[in-house]
Amino acid sequence: MKYKYLNDKNLDFLKRFLSTYSPSGYEMEAAKVWQEYVSQYTAVETDVLCNSVGIINPDAKFKIMLSGHLDEIGFQVMYISKEGLLYFRKLGGIDALTVPGTEVVVLTRNGKVPGVIGKKPIHLQTATERTKALELDELWIDIGAENQEEAEAIVSIGDPVAVKSNCFFMGKSRVMSKALDDKIGAFIVAEVVRVLSTEGIKVGVYGVASSQEEVGCRGAVTSSYYINPQVGFCLDVGFATDIPDCSEKKYGELKLGGGAVIRHNADNNIVLVRLLQDVAKEKNITFQNVTNSSATGGTDTCKIQLAQSGVATALLSIPNRYMHTPVEVCDLRDVDEIIALLIETIKKIDRDNLTDFIPCHMA
């Protein structure tokens, strides 16, 4: 498959990045890999919340922020039973139906401890139990300990838990991983920064791999207040509707391989959205128009938009199948088109001095 911007080197980075562990609030491992890669091309800063920022032209007055979050959904240890089993709560939104039987890794102070999520065997369940979704407190993590004392010597209450690392490329252009939401967005940010670092642009570009999105978009709040940009592009996955029983009438037409997804709702500045559309048409970049199913919220976009005196924001989505499960799937053609669209849009803002994104000025 021939891409505009993807190649063996950055796809190797993507695989390493997707293979890291970064439950919300515990993003250090993923942040380190992202920082090491981006620092080859530009200066990188970080903060107390583990936001990572690659900066081009830090002295420029006009600032453009890119944001994709690097945290992933996971669990956290709540209780250790006398049998040595770990009981847990969710850390971010979890598809509970996919949890039983999942291989996991407990991220302890002293290293990673493998385990599996277990439940009562189906053979021993009542007819009622077989037909209902299990609550998380009916499940446990088995780390191979024989009793509570042995388990407590290995893990501690409060240890975060991540789904075991998995990543592979399949078909002609698709990638599967537990953490495409939203390491694929943070990857796009890194690639846009990489390319623009050699383009001689004059505007300031702040590429952010943000933290704690899955528990309330918290990293986007602090990073956008720190940067105080005039424009913010958010990169996050969106629900692909090219699967059975997923209504396009209700959720919009969103296809893997259909190109960059330009979103429409109150979070998306109409002047910026139309600029993205115009650039895509001018540069022959494939894109999809999709209206959000809600009027606002759901991604870092709404938090960035409200930073300080307000930011012109736009959400670009990467179509994603099986979101918040261990087997999310995206298409690299969409990733490539989004990288191209962002690069060309930022270059146009810089070249043509397009600095006014106030919708009322359109009247």
Q: What residue ranges do the domains of the chain occupy? A: 8-72+178-362, 75-163
Residue 67, phi then psi, degrees to nearest 5 = -140, 125
Instruction: Give the integer Cα–Cα distance in Å for 28 and 24.
Output: 10
How many secondary structure helices (H) and strands (E) does the chain include? 10, 17
Instruction: Report whether 38 contacts 54 (CB < 8 A).
Output: yes
The whole-number mean pLDDT for each consecutive block of 10 residues of the chain, a chain of 363 residues, reads: 93 97 97 98 96 97 97 97 97 87 96 94 76 83 97 97 96 96 96 97 97 93 96 96 88 93 95 97 96 88 95 97 95 98 98 88 68
pLDDT of residue 86: 98
| Architecture of domain 75-163 in this structure | Beta Barrel (2.40)
Name the CATH superfamily for 8-72+178-362. Zn peptidases (3.40.630.10)
Q: How many residues are given for the chain?
A: 363
Q: Which two tokens stand for residue 91?
A: 């850390």
Render the burial of 95-107: b for 16+ CB within 10 Å, e for the rest: eeeebbebebbbb
pLDDT given at position 363: 59
Query: What's the pLDDT at 206?
Result: 98
pTM of the model: 0.95
pLDDT at 137: 87
- Active-site positions? 213
268-308: pLDDT as tens digits? 999 999 999 999 999 999 999 999 888 888 899 999 999 99
